Chain A
Amino acid sequence: MLTQEQAGAIFDRIRKISSADEVEVLFSGGKFALTRFANNTIHQNVAEENHVVSVRTAFGQKTARATTNKFDDESLHLVVKNSEALARVQHPDPDLLTMPDDRCGGGADEASAPKQTRFFEQTAAITPELRAAGVKKIVAVADRHKLTAAGVFSSGEYFEGMFNSSGLTRWHTQTSAEISVTMLAADSSGWQKANSPDIANLGPERLAETAAQKAVDSAYPKEVPAGKYTVILEPAAVLDIVGFMFWDYSGMAILDQRSFLTGRIGIRLFGENITIMDDVAHPLQSGSPFDGEGVVRKRIGLVESGVVKRVVYARATAERMKCSEHKDSVGPIEATGHGFALPNEMGEMPMNIVFAPSDEPQTLERMIASTERGILVTRLWYIREVEPFEKMLTGMTRDGTFLVENGRVQGGVRNFRFNESLIRMLSNVEAMSAPVRSCGEESFDMVVPAMKVKDFSFTEVTKF
């Protein structure tokens, strides 16, 4: 992989090539491999390596970006020329700030940076043979239960770096491994997924056993009518649905009046048991400790005891907000280190979400035991926004949906379509488990609990 020193030398070459007032260079890339299996067979097995250099130039208030994955002299000259040509013809942007220096948001060694490494040699060293061996263990579990397995086992190492002409330097490296397993029976299925920077935290057999048990337990699903139910959402289901609201925790979204938080910051929007922060340094989180301009990410309390306290900001958004009609009603305004690479139209977003533990965390088993009649949901699927201000979302249950009666799981049920307001859902949380690192398919990874939610609205039932 490209090293920080090599990237620094390339940045020096680019600076000499450029005639712009300011230059910023983003480096990203790495190695990635994924072994995919279905029908108890590895059917796709891929590996790639790629490095990308992305150059932003600025002439006064005009800026633009050009990107390439070629690092020879001619290509570097061309990418700088393309960036400058694009920048020169822009209309001046009065909100564009000069590039930040190395102190912006605190140096990279500030307390908000992760305290533990996110690069593990044993993850970087995973070979195709090791992944195949992991898949073999999963398939053995499927065979034992007379099921069919499908899924992925991936691994990779990545870097992300930034240099600019104000002297800012940032560099982050990370590894990642992920296993996802679906177990299929004739009329049912089960699913589990986990990822971590450290392969030692993943157990293919354990994930396979849990997925297999769900497939077995949900066999011969009954049709239960749609309606309002108490639901117990496993952490993956929680993260996939709540993920749809975090685009709105953005200063730019407030300024654009496209956020459901417009006019709602400082009021109690959710139940008192909901507290949410963005914290890149949390030990269960991953990702780089700086944003698209190199500003160090701060720990931000977004929701405290159900009250929306604040949103996150890129540098320019914070300056705009300070002069806006909203400035007295949005809580603290400052660059928080959540901006996207410039230029962009979306501004910023918190992407290291951590739900705070409740006062009395409950196990999933305890939540089930206290439920007279409800639905246990393994995961949700194809979630989309139906109405943006009440945050009405629709989607389906999938891969393990169970009827709970009299404190016990009674068996599998046909999958439901839900239409539910996120505001109402987070106001109806009756119990939560301890938060865990979780991953799904509809949203980014988070640290979230399982939730027991009353009056969750299922509107239709599908055929399986």
Chain B
Amino acid sequence: MKHVSKWALDAAALRGASYADVRVIVQRSRALTTKNGKVGSASDAESVGMNVRVIADGAWGFAASAELGRGAVEATAARAVEIARASARVKQGDVRLAPQQPVVAEWSTPYKVDPFTTSVEQNIELLLKIDAELRSVAGVTLAETNLNFSREEQRFASSEGADIHQTKLSTGVGYAAYAFAGSEIQKRSYPNSFGGQWQNKGYELIEELKLVESARRIAEEAVALHEADQCPEGTFDIILDSSQLGLQIHESVGHPIELDRVLGMEANFAGTSFLTLDKLRTLRYGSGLVNVVADARQEHGPGLGTFGYDDEGVQAQCIPIITNGLFTGYLSSRDTAHTIGESRSGGTVRAEGWNRLPMIRMTNVSLLPGQRPLSLEQLIASTDHGILMQTNRSWSIDDKRYNFQFGCEIGWEIKGGKRVRMVKNPSYSGITTEFWNALDAICSRDEWTLWGTPNCGKGQPQQVMGTGHGAAPARFRGIKVGSAFKGN
């Protein structure tokens, strides 16, 4: 890999690039699914390639190739410079990079069991066992399971002297039970929707999740939802479980703090942000209990946004995003840090693979747990009348990230501190800052989970990225519930 980087950096310099970086990447993945007792898909994939990102004439250029021979690598570097010069024809100013001390380093995801050393037979046996448990419940009409492993080895080198060899490993697993009856389809997923739980871990993740043990309950809930009442419409106190809260953080905190969105760079696709620069350190984002960080460091946990160095060679950091309710930080890159007066990038730049341009992505954007001991059951016990909502089913938010609406798979009405009935099709909606200011209780660390969102889309061409979101169940006062079904 090292010689590939050198060929590319030399070729870019020779053609006049004022800055260049190179990523050589080897990705491998295994994906297995089952459906109603049969293996649905079984695939193994590898993808190998390199890219060169340059600044020439004050503008960016990027080119990628699957060919790693010297001629192809040098041609790719030359193409990147040619593209940068074309970019320079339409610019308002030169690219400004925040300084970065070049790093020479090795980093790998810590793991106990390399998932690629587990046998496919063992993987399929587990999935079919779960599938059998799900379908043992009368009324389940469709059972689906999935198991995914991926490994990415990357060598990053820059014209400033950085040389970082990094290997990231991730595992994902989950399942869902569907029940079709009459004119309704109900669904329950475990441990979460979007293919379950995903973390930068080895096979040990699968052993921690009590997958088989939870299958029957999940299937029974899918069937029981048909008998449940429709979730009432109105204004309620709501409690969100940690997985739903993880997605709420993703959509209504994680995306609006991306500085490239704020600066209009995503205006044509993902949208912009209500968090204009004047709001930094002035906006009351949430109540005083709200503390959110963007933390890519291993000590935060094995999230999909955990790494040693980002794709610009910047070391993983913890950025305070919301501090005691006050908005305190953005996700930034080397070419945007100056716009918020920072002398250093926030280290949040990542690319989906060797053929994609690195860009600002969420790392692990997490709501810190409450300081006082508080379990979910204690939180329910302290709620007079409300709705507990679990596991996301639908999610939508406007292109400035103000108005959102989420639907969940299952809800529970709480009266007098007790769950009194299951309700189906629960949904809630609101305006981002009003919602976070309505938070009045967060469960403590022992209820906190670092969830993985494997399907975050952004950029053109679109890149799908994994992000992490830690959360403990929390309560929000006076939230609009059920308007999704209003008038229908």
Contact = CB atoms under 8 A, between A and B. Distances in A.
A404 to B, nearest CB: 21
Interface in A148-195: 148, 150-152, 154, 180-182, 184, 189, 191
Interface stretch (B2-10, B78-86, B206-214): B78-86
Given A45-B60, A343-B40, A345-B40, A459 B486 contact: yes
Interface SS of chain A? strand
A67 B66 contact: no
Given A44-B60, A148-B267, 4 more contacts: A38-B265, A47-B79, A180-B269, A392-B488
Contacts of B180: 257-258, 262
Interface stretch (A88-96, A349-357, A359-367): A88-96
Given A82-B44, A257-B185, A417 B403 contact: yes
Interface string A438-464: 000100000000000000010111111
A4 interface: no
**Most chain B beta-carbon neighbours within 10 Å: one of A32, A132, A421:** A132
A132 B86 contact: yes
A6 interface: no
A132 B45 contact: no
Interface stretch (A114-122, A299-307, A330-338, A376-384): A376-384
Contact of B399 (A91, A127, A381): A381
B282 interface: no
Contacts of A148: 264, 267
A132 B461 contact: no
Interface in A373-409: 381-390, 392, 394-396, 398-399
Given A34-B460, A459-B486, A89 B120 contact: yes
A136 B142 CA distance: 53
Interface in A15-57: 32-52
A464 B42 CA distance: 46
A86 B269 contact: no
Contacts of A64: 42-44
A64 B30 CA distance: 11
Nearest to A140: B90
A276 interface: no
A382 B274 contact: no
**Most chain B beta-carbon neighbours within 10 Å: one of A38, A49, A136:** A49
B488 A46 contact: no
Interface of B: 33-36, 38-49, 51, 59-67, 79-80, 82-84, 86-93, 119-121, 124, 128, 141-142, 144, 178, 180, 183-185, 263-269, 271, 274, 355-357, 359, 393-400, 402-403, 405, 407, 425, 427, 429, 431, 460-461, 483-488
13 contacts: A38-B266, A39-B263, A43-B87, A44-B357, A45-B83, A66-B44, A91-B124, A258-B185, A384-B396, A389-B184, A396-B397, A421-B488, A459-B483
A382 B38 contact: no
Contacts of A419: 405, 483-486, 488
Nearest to B93: A41
A256 interface: yes
B460 A49 contact: no
Contacts, number: 285
Contact of B264 (A45, A150, A457): A150
Contact of A392 (B46, B178, B484): B484
A148 B267 CA distance: 10
**Most chain B beta-carbon neighbours within 10 Å: one of A35, A42, A131, A154:** A42
B402 A39 contact: no
Given A38-B264, A343-B40, A417-B405, A129 B86 contact: yes
A148 B485 CA distance: 38
B91 A460 contact: no
Contacts of B65: 48-50
B265 A39 contact: yes
Closest 3 CB pairs of A and B: A345-B40, A128-B86, A462-B403
A32 B39 contact: no
A459 B403 contact: no
Given A257-B180, A382-B399, A417-B398, A132 B268 contact: no
Nearest to A457: B487
Interface in A407-432: 415, 417, 419, 421
B243 to A, nearest CB: 17
**Most chain A beta-carbon neighbours within 10 Å: one of B92, B128, B359:** B92
Contacts of A86: 42-44, 120
Contacts of A46: 62-64, 83, 356-357, 461
Contacts of A317: none
Contacts of B405: 394, 417, 419, 460
Contacts of A129: 86, 89
A50 to B, nearest CB: 5
A181 B45 CA distance: 35
A267 to B, nearest CB: 13
Contact of B425 (A182, A228, A387): A387
Given A47-B62, A343-B41, A40 B92 contact: yes
Contacts of B265: 38-39, 43-44, 150
B97 to A, nearest CB: 14
Given A41-B91, A419-B486, A150 B268 contact: yes
Given A387-B425, A459-B487, A68 B398 contact: no
A417 B90 CA distance: 36
A302 B160 CA distance: 59
**Most chain A beta-carbon neighbours within 10 Å: one of B48, B83, B185:** B83
**Most chain B beta-carbon neighbours within 10 Å: one of A70, A83, A421, A460:** A460
B461 A32 contact: yes
A47 B66 CA distance: 12
A45 B62 contact: yes
Contacts of B183: 389-390
A139 interface: yes
B74 to A, nearest CB: 14
A40 B92 CA distance: 7
Contact of A44 (B62, B89, B92, B274): B62
Nearest to B46: A68
A441 B403 contact: no
Nearest to B86: A128
A383 B184 contact: no
Nearest to A343: B41
Contact of B398 (A93, A262, A462): A462
**Most chain A beta-carbon neighbours within 10 Å: one of B47, B396, B486:** B396
Contact of B91 (A42, A66, A83, A128): A42
A67 B396 contact: no
A3 interface: no
B121 A89 contact: yes
A40 B263 CA distance: 12
A227 B362 CA distance: 36
Contacts of A396: 396-399, 403
B344 to A, nearest CB: 21
Contacts of A371: none
